[in-house]
Amino acid sequence: MGVGRPKQFDEQEALELAMQLFWSRGYGNTSLSDLLSEMGISRQSLYDTFGSKRGLFFRSVEHYKATQLSQALALLEREGSPLENVKGVVGFFQDLAADERCRGCFVANALVEVAPHDPELAEVLQDTLDILQNSIRASLEKSIEIGELGSERSPLSLARALTNAMIGLAVTGKLQRGRATLRDIYSGTLAMLG
């Protein structure tokens, strides 16, 4: 291998490892050497490909959207009852909160830890939440159209309140609150749907 020539590596695989590490430990608690060791790449490769630790974090948010958020969105795109799909996505966050690793949601973690000091990141995270909220809203609209949900409800208002409760679940998941608590949160949250 020639001097200065970047080491070859699988960018998606490296991003997955970086995202997992940031997700578990947070931004501040993850050092550059932790990342290099986890990703198995050289410092030069990291700088060449991602620019900086902050650049890698932004790419990790994109990777989270492409892998985790897209799973939640896929639940909303399923055939059948759009109302059941909405319940499914709340259940997705209930499962996240039940995860014994207590990692919560990568986006909610970043919102709390990094967004207040980084307006550019705050905007990216806001857009990420909006994608989820808009998809829920669209499902609720379909649900009203087919008469599953009363038309007196505002799909936008409901989508906002549901998204807020899902963020709550992500943070609640930082503690081992037990299955019974999570079930109560799930059913209480769905009670919003009337």
Contacts with its own copies by CB under 8 A lie at: 24-26, 28-29, 102-104, 108-109, 111-113, 115-117, 122, 125-126, 129, 154, 156-158, 160-162, 164-172, 174-175, 177, 181, 184-185, 187-189, 191-192, 194
Which is nearer to its own copies, 54 or 160 (by Cβ)?
Answer: 160
Q: How far is the CB of 47 from its own copies (least distance, A)?
A: 23
Q: How far is the CB of 18 from its own copies (least distance, A)?
A: 18
Which is nearer to its own copies, 81 or 103 (by Cβ)?
Answer: 103
End-to-end CA distance of the chain: 64
Which is nearer to its own copies, 14 or 165 (by Cβ)?
Answer: 165
Q: How far is the CB of 53 from its own copies (least distance, A)?
A: 14
Which is nearer to its own copies, 28 or 80 (by Cβ)?
Answer: 28
* CB contact at 8 A, 50 and 23: no
Q: How far is the CB of 63 from its own copies (least distance, A)?
A: 20
Q: Which two tokens stand for residue 191?
A: 């009670």
Q: Which two tokens stand for residue 2?
A: 């020639």
* CB contact at 8 A, 41 and 83: no
Q: What long-range pairs does 29-33 form, CB within 8 A, spacing at least 24?
A: none
- Gyration radius (Cα) of the chain, Å: 19
Which is nearer to its own copies, 45 or 94 (by Cβ)?
Answer: 94
Q: How far is the CB of 181 from its own copies (least distance, A)?
A: 5
Question: What's the 3-state SS for 117-172?
Answer: HCHHHHHHHHHHHHHHHHHHHHHHHHHHHCCCCCCCCCHHHHHHHHHHHHHHHHHH
Q: How far is the CB of 126 from its own copies (least distance, A)?
A: 5
Q: How far apart are CA 53 and CA 59, in angstroms?
A: 10
Which is nearer to its own copies, 49 or 161 (by Cβ)?
Answer: 161
